[in-house]
Structure 1
Amino acid sequence: ERLYNQVWGMFEDLARTTAAYRSAVDFADSRMEKELDQALSDPRSRIGGQGDAAREAARARHGRLVSQAREVLDRDVAQLVAEAEVVEPALPTAFARWDNPVWHAYRVPMEIPMALRLGDLHLPEADRIRIPMLIRLPLERGLWIDSGRSASLDGSFADSHEMRRLGLETAVSHAARLLAVYPAGEFTVHVIDPAGSGAQALAPLAQSGVLAAPPAQGAAGTADVLA
């Protein structure tokens, strides 16, 4: 319970400091735009050195505001990084990364843990820190894995087949984690693969014998599992 609360406290701190940084940058951008508009609206400022000086001063103030906000963000992130370096090695198996040495002493659990690690949470402004993404157990609702868009905002395109493959591998990884942290026989795993296109990604589950039946394929197989 203590470690769970500490991890989510770190997440809240990261979210709070990043939101403050973004707000400060937005304010600096808005202020600079307003000052530039004011400089351009004055006919006397549009020509000569006076206008150039006003624009340069506006950009300098913008730079100072952004730099100050970045300093605060970097300071807070550094504190979170130091905290994460202490917390991460102390996490139990259900909260730990796959590469954590705690898995070397793995034993089949006798009871359901309070939470499960699904991955890491991070933000582009603070890529030095990774916060464990923990979700309470037992799950109150299903997990939706979004494989993303084939077209991104920057105009680039991703291979839709590759993205679906990565999404399926993520689902298999989550299933493996659930199996690892739950007591043996606590739940049954069924897989639906209507088109039969996920055989390679599903192989770790199918070959390890943890599935209740082979992956269901086609409309009839899907209907049988969902019945």
Structure 2
Amino acid sequence: MIQLKAGQNTPLTGDVVRFSAKADAALDVSALVVAQNLRVLAAEDFVFDNQPQTQGVTLSDGTVAIRLADIRADANAVLLVVSADPAAPVRPGGLGLVTAELLENDTVAAEFAIAPLAGETALICLEVYRRGTGWKLRAVGQGYAGGLAQLLTAHGVEIDGVVDQAAAAVPQADPGSAGARSNGQDTISGPGADSRAAGPVPVEVAHGLDRLWMIFEDAARSAAALISARDYAAQRLDHELSSAVSDPTTRNTPAAEAARQAAHRRSDELIAVAEGNHHRDSQHLLRELADADRLLPPSLASWESPVWEGPPAASDGIRLGELHAIERGPLRVPYCVPVPLNRPLWIDTESSTAAAPVVGALLARLLAADPGRRVRVDMIDLTGAFRGLVGPLTPVLNGPPVTDHAEISARLQALVDAAELAELAYEGGVFTPPIDHRVLLAADFPHGYQAADAQRIGSLMVRGDLIGLSTVIVGSDESDSSDPVVAALSQACRHLPTADGTPLFDPWTGSPWQLDLDLLPREPERQARYLRAHQ
């Protein structure tokens, strides 16, 4: 049995898999059969107590059974979901620790422990998805502050009067999602997907994010094989050299020298084969990336891609930079995350001014990700580091940038109030998905901010998805702060290091990568064009 971590995946070899979960809270288990855009295509694609069966998927006694060969050919994945049982007393803190379990042919194959940080009452625990001609399992752990109703809405399920989450009316398929194609990784799916266009696009997936993560996974596994081969060759060489000189009576003989040379030769041959395989894999991935770059939506493409000159195109993610390792060759893999941001981004820097090109690139890509929705940006910039971005961004700024620390609380509170109103609407059964994509840029944090401001940002982490909010924080890493609220906030964010030499580790093999963050091009005319391209 494998203990999965968020984002990790593993091949499935069984014919039938079974999903169950346990927690301190009473749970309802359900499943969604989705297309590549993670949206249902038909009413029966939601399997729950009132509709316990669809083609290849059955719910019985709190267990979802999936007969992989029977899944519809046009389905890309089955999302395995838990939610709070509405008939049980409300548990403070939401679901608590959830342990999801998957069996293959009645043998436990994988387990995934999820600890929601924000009291979420609905979770996508696992995803069983197609990969080529086979199937794989991915640990997701995506929580929804709006509960099961919000989760279902985000995946194209229409709910008739969200009064009782478990007894929601049988869903109707989103008519605009037929034939759509898209995504699937823990960090790849998230709240807000319901508002993105789902028309067919000539890439492997509709909005591109999953394709880039597939390439990243392939690169990670090839890198791990190379690292393992090098380590093995070094260990074997050391052992064989030690054996060649272990006998003092023969260590200086021609036979010992021949043994040493043979050991070096075997080591060199092993490394040469491994490096040849890795080079072959890298060249294939480089060609795949070059082809994709001409077809991806702008928010995921390189700055040099011709798609920036073409019509706007919706995307399910944004590009943050490129991952590489000098000792493993020239391959550079785009590092991407979903939008709206399912976790706040924290740009680690001692200088907001130095991070301005990173912030500019991030904002340009957030603007381009969803051209069908209005973007509203709240900017807190106490040091004036982003003054050069204000002009091009004026049409989307939600008021002047906050440059006085005395004005921070009011701006944050306005966002908190909007999120709380959206939460009340949800609780009253009248919630509608946000029509805007809102962005909060909180620079120079936590200096100049009041203690309550960190709590406000923490509240937005819990409820911000209800208003379509993506949060970006700029400041030094505060994960070890003496202020527990600031430390918890920092620990909950996705950190982007700006200092050279800070490694990131891929979620599949744990191999180290260096991240070169995306930078807005220096030329003023290009900066203005990218920042205005999809306003």
Instruction: Sort the Cα spacing of 1:27 and 1:51 in 2 relative to 1 into closer, same or farther, 3 A.
Output: same
| Residue number among 308, 314, 320 corresponding to 1:103 in the alignment | 308
RMSD across aligned positions (CA): 2.7
Distance of 1:176 and 1:49 partners within structure 2: 67
Distance of 1:185 and 1:75 partners within structure 2: 42
Shift, 1:69, TM fit: 0.5
Counterpart residue number, 1:216: 402
Counterpart residue number, 2:265: 60
Q: TM-score, normalised by structure 2?
A: 0.35
Shift, 1:165, TM fit: 4.3
Distance of 1:98 and 1:82 partners within structure 2: 18
Counterpart residue number, 1:151: none
The residue type paired with residue 216 of structure 1 is V
| Residue number among 206, 222, 226 corresponding to 2:390 in the alignment | 206
Counterpart residue number, 1:20: 225
Deviations 1:160-212 (A, max 9, x none): 76xx6443321221012112333477343223334x162xxx13421221433
Counterpart residue number, 1:118: 320
Query: Which has the higher mean CA deviation after the structures are superposed, 2-11 or 121-130?
Result: 121-130
Counterpart residue number, 1:128: 330
Shift, 1:117, TM fit: 2.4
SS at match of 2:303: coil
Do 2:381 and 2:402's aligned partners in 1 also have CA atoms closer than 8 Å? Answer: yes
Shift, 1:115, TM fit: 2.0
Distance of 2:237 and 2:338 partners within structure 1: 45
Do 2:317 and 2:338's aligned partners in 1 also have CA atoms closer than 8 Å? Answer: yes
Counterpart residue number, 1:7: 212
The residue type paired with residue 287 of structure 2 is A
| Residue number among 178, 181, 191 corresponding to 2:369 in the alignment | 181
Do 1:115 and 1:135's aligned partners in 2 also have CA atoms closer than 8 Å? Answer: yes
Distance of 1:45 and 1:197 partners within structure 2: 74
The residue type paired with residue 134 of structure 1 is C
Structure 2: tracts of 5 or more residues without a match: 1-181, 183-203, 414-535
SS at match of 1:97: coil
Instruction: Sort the Cα spacing of 1:214 and 1:49 in 2 relative to 1 into closer, same or farther, 3 A.
Output: farther
SS at match of 1:55: helix
2:348 matched to 1:146? yes
Give the structure with the larger strand fraction.
2
Shift, 1:33, TM fit: 1.3
Distance of 1:59 and 1:225 partners within structure 2: 66
Shift, 1:145, TM fit: 2.4
SS at match of 1:43: coil
SS at match of 1:132: strand
SS at match of 2:331: strand
Count of equivalent residues: 206
Shift, 1:27, TM fit: 0.4
Shift, 1:119, TM fit: 2.7
Shift, 1:20, TM fit: 0.6
Instruction: Sort the Cα spacing of 1:216 and 1:127 in 2 relative to 1 into closer, same or farther, 3 A.
Output: farther
- Alignment identity in percent? 34
Give the structure with the larger helix fraction.
1
Shift, 1:11, TM fit: 1.6
Do 2:297 and 2:315's aligned partners in 1 also have CA atoms closer than 8 Å? Answer: no
Do 1:120 and 1:130's aligned partners in 2 also have CA atoms closer than 8 Å? Answer: yes
5 Å-filtered alignment, 1:23-42, equals: 23-42=228-247
Deviations 1:98-135 (A, max 9, x none): 2211111244x6xx632222233333345433333332
Do 2:318 and 2:338's aligned partners in 1 also have CA atoms closer than 8 Å? Answer: yes
Do 2:323 and 2:335's aligned partners in 1 also have CA atoms closer than 8 Å? Answer: yes
The residue type paired with residue 220 of structure 1 is A
SS at match of 2:378: coil
SS at match of 1:190: strand
Instruction: Sort the Cα spacing of 1:132 and 1:23 in 2 relative to 1 into closer, same or farther, 3 A.
Output: same
Instruction: Sort the Cα spacing of 1:102 and 1:183 in 2 relative to 1 into closer, same or farther, 3 A.
Output: closer
Query: Which has the higher mean CA deviation after the structures are superposed, 211-220 or 78-87?
Result: 211-220
| Residue number among 364, 378, 383 corresponding to 1:190 in the alignment | 378
Do 1:18 and 1:125's aligned partners in 2 also have CA atoms closer than 8 Å? Answer: no
Instruction: Sort the Cα spacing of 1:42 and 1:217 in 2 relative to 1 into closer, same or farther, 3 A.
Output: farther
Do 1:40 and 1:46's aligned partners in 2 also have CA atoms closer than 8 Å? Answer: yes
SS at match of 2:340: coil
Distance of 2:243 and 2:308 partners within structure 1: 62
SS at match of 1:145: strand
Query: Which has the higher mean CA deviation after the structures are superposed, 86-95 or 41-50?
Result: 41-50
Shift, 1:36, TM fit: 2.0
Query: Which structure is richer in relative contact order (CA contacts within 8 A, separation 6 or more)?
Result: 1
SS at match of 2:344: coil
Shift, 1:142, TM fit: 0.7
